[in-house]
Amino acid sequence: MKKFVSLVLILFLLASAIPCFAQEVDSTNVQLIPLVPPTTFFSFASDTFHSGPTFTGFGGTGTFSSKAEVDLMVDLNDDNYGGTVTFLSNLNLKAEAYDYQVYYIGSQYLHVWKVYAEMTFTHVNPGVINADILGIGFKEGVLTSWSPNPYTLGETMTLQDSQSADQSIYMNSLPLLKGIGVPQEYLANSRDLAFTFTNVRSATSNGNPNNLVNISKEGIFKDDWKAEGSFSASASLK
């Protein structure tokens, strides 16, 4: 009986004398955690253009371009599942390489140019007015080629740029991209992009092994050339 009374007394003291651990919440002071939009990714795979090369270069210049039809993939959901939209698109790209340097590394040569470029992706929608998706431009991108010869390109090249290295880079969210929920502010920070070039070859036979493209000591393309290519880019909220 004493044990029972003691237990009742302890329970009474706990209920009456000790403050409850649950605290009343003042709703006026609740700090909401903002929903930060994820990074938006863009990409297209190599050789999705079935009517010609992805890129074309012009002999006697440092310029190259693209008018390829590509499947532009837009990933709205960072690296999570879902959120992917694919647009059949025309890539309209114009670029000029300048400030050429070549480096002898081991038994190979690394060719490096700075690049000025502008490009637009436009949705191809037969029977309907085409709509622009994405615009990109920069003044100090970098084009590289790894080759066996100081006066030819290799079979591959890369073109890349990023906001941390080149403050001139811009990405414009155009009407169709805004329409799927990517406003301009979602592309305001951490902008980066890279193209890969594969099967880089002279447009006509030039006598070189694998038709490697001739270049001058100033880095000017001596041959018209063509290449396949792929693309990846990303940007995030400011």
**Contact (CB, 8 A) for 163 and 209:** no
Six-digit token pair at 148?
């066996």
pLDDT in tens, the chain (238 residues): 444 434 433 344 344 444 433 344 444 554 444 456 679 999 999 766 667 899 999 999 999 999 999 999 999 877 676 678 999 999 999 999 999 999 999 999 999 999 999 999 999 987 778 899 999 999 999 999 999 999 999 999 999 999 999 999 999 999 999 999 999 999 999 999 999 999 999 999 999 999 999 999 999 999 999 999 999 999 998 7
DSSP lists the bridge partners of residue 212 as: none
Q: Which residue has the tokens 């698109």?
A: 89
Kindly report the three-state secondary structure assignment for every residue of the chain: CHHHHHHHHHHHHHHHHCCCCCCCCCHHHCCCCCCCCCCEEEEECCCCCCCCCCEEECCCECEEEECCEEEEEEECCCCCCCCEEEEEEEEEEEEEEEEEEEEEECCEEEEEEEEEEEEEEEECCCCCCCEEEEEEEEEEEEEEEEECCCCECCCCEEEEEECCCCCCCEEEECHHHHHCCCCHHHHCEEEEEEEEEEEEEECCCCCCHHHCCEECCCCCECCCEEEEEEEEEEEECC
What pLDDT does residue 10 have? 37
Q: Which residue has the tokens 């290295």?
A: 165
Measured between alpha carbons, how far is 55 from 49 in angstroms, rounded to an integer? 10
Non-local CB neighbours of 139 within 8 Å, separated by 6+ positions: 116, 166, 168
- Kindly report the pTM of this predicted structure: 0.82
Question: What is the pLDDT at residue 128?
Answer: 77
